């Protein structure tokens, strides 16, 4: 009898391991797939030149499936921008995960952040084009979302600066919030030049070194 009961236990275990995900999980998985496909389509073809048909074709789904998850192309653009922003923020957070303890470490981290940003834009040129250029030409609401992205980067920079004050290698009288936004603004000219393909590796390197020197020499303790 004991041997006869073993297969039933094994079969039940197998069903548990191979069970279908809950409906909500399936919905979120499909939404994520559509967002990733839309990101690839928009970054390759451009938002204006892309259509729902391009996204559906990328996934091999019908138009009806797309409309079960998103109202229209403008609706999914919000999610595509969020997707791109998250990729940028995560990449930059990795560079600041270990707080600097000296001004020299701070210089190195700023340099690495600049290099990381430009490498990311070079490897995925559609990222900056979709998030920073095309999105701001859609409507006022989307423009404000992108401005919010710059505020996010400014806040990340402010936290970076507060650590330097706490460690004693940056001036204690710094307005960290304003300076964080200012440093973000300093990066934009060469970022846009890189997105347009007008800033080569040597120009980017010189720009990063100039920024690092300007920032660190101006605010060190």
- Per-residue model confidence as pLDDT tens for the chain (221 residues): 444 444 444 444 444 455 665 578 888 999 999 999 999 999 888 888 999 999 999 999 998 999 999 999 999 998 888 888 888 778 777 777 788 999 999 999 999 888 888 888 888 888 888 887 888 788 888 888 888 878 888 888 899 899 999 999 999 999 999 999 999 888 888 888 888 888 888 988 999 999 999 999 999 99
Q: Is residue 110 part of a domain?
A: yes
Give the integer Cα–Cα distance in Å for 87 and 128: 11
Q: Which of 53, 70, 87 is the last residue of a domain?
A: 70
151 with 131, same domain: the answer is yes
Residues of the domain holding 34:
21-70
Q: Is the CB of residue 96 less than 8 Å from the CB of residue 109?
A: yes
129 with 169, same domain: the answer is yes
Q: Which of 70, 87, 111 is the last residue of a domain?
A: 70
88 with 191, same domain: the answer is yes
Q: Is the pTM of this model over 0.85?
A: no
Question: In degrees, to the nearest 5, what angle opens at C-alpha 147 toward C-alphas 141 and 153?
Answer: 145
Q: Which of 52, 70, 88 is the last residue of a domain?
A: 70
Question: In degrees, to the nearest 5, what angle opens at C-alpha 168 toward C-alphas 162 and 174?
Answer: 45
Residues 6+ apart with CB under 8 A from 85: 131, 149, 152
E strand or H helix that includes residue 117: helix 103-123
Give the integer Cα–Cα distance in Å for 221 and 216: 9
Give the integer Cα–Cα distance in Å for 185 and 105: 22
Q: Which residue has the tokens 């990449």?
A: 91
């Amino acid at each position: 009898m004991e041997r006869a009961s073993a297969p039933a236990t094994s079969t039940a275990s197998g069903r548990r391991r191979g069970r279908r995900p809950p409906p909500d999980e399936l919905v979120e998985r499909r939404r994520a797939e559509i967002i990733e496909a839309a990101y690839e389509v928009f970054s390759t073809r451009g938002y204006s030149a892309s259509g729902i048909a391009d996204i559906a074709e990328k996934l091999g789904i019908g138009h009806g499936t797309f409309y079960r998850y998103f109202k229209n192309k403008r609706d999914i653009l919000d999610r595509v921008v969020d997707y791109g922003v998250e990729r940028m923020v995560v990449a930059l957070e990795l560079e600041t995960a270990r707080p600097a303890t000296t001004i020299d470490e701070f210089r190195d981290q700023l340099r690495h952040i600049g290099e990381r940003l430009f490498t990311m834009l070079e490897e995925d040129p559609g990222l900056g084009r979709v998030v920073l250029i095309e999105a701001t030409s859609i409507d006022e609401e989307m423009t404000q979302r992108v401005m919010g992205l710059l505020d996010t980067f400014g806040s990340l920079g402010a936290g970076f600066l507060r650590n330097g004050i706490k460690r004693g290698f940056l001036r204690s009288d710094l307005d960290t919030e304003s300076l964080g936004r200012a440093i973000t603004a300093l990066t934009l000219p060469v970022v846009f030049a890189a997105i347009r393909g007008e800033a080569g590796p040597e120009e980017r390197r010189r720009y990063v070194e100039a920024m690092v020197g300007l920032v660190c020499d101006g605010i060190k303790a």
